[in-house]
Amino acid sequence: MIEDGMAHGALSAAQSEIWFAHSLDSSDSLNSIGDYLNIRGRIDPEIMALACAQVERETEALRTWFTDAPDGPRQHVHPGLVAPLLRVDFV
């Protein structure tokens, strides 16, 4: 269902299982995945920001969040959310 420009809907079976497991133990970080990329040499910060924004536009999972509704957990997908890119120069 589209509402307020965002897609809303029920969770898939796999999402429901993860939601339930997390509700039993919210300290479990098994499904929280972090990663990094070690880039050597100079990069153009503007091109990096554009590339990251493109990945977010193409990857629905990066724009999806979940809420607990009266009829059960729901997923919400923002149509064009692009998170700001934090730039840190360690040099």
Summarize pLDDT for 8-51 with one digit per residue, the tens. 888 999 888 888 888 888 787 776 777 888 888 888 989 999 99
Three-state DSSP at 69 gives strand
Single pTM value for the model:
0.66
Instruction: Lowest mean pLDDT of 28-32, 71-75, 76-80, name the range.
Output: 28-32
Share above pLDDT 70 across residues of the chain, in percent, rounded to a whole number: 92
- pLDDT of 23 reads 83
Cα distances (angstroms) measured from residue 43 to each of 48, 50, 89: 7, 12, 11
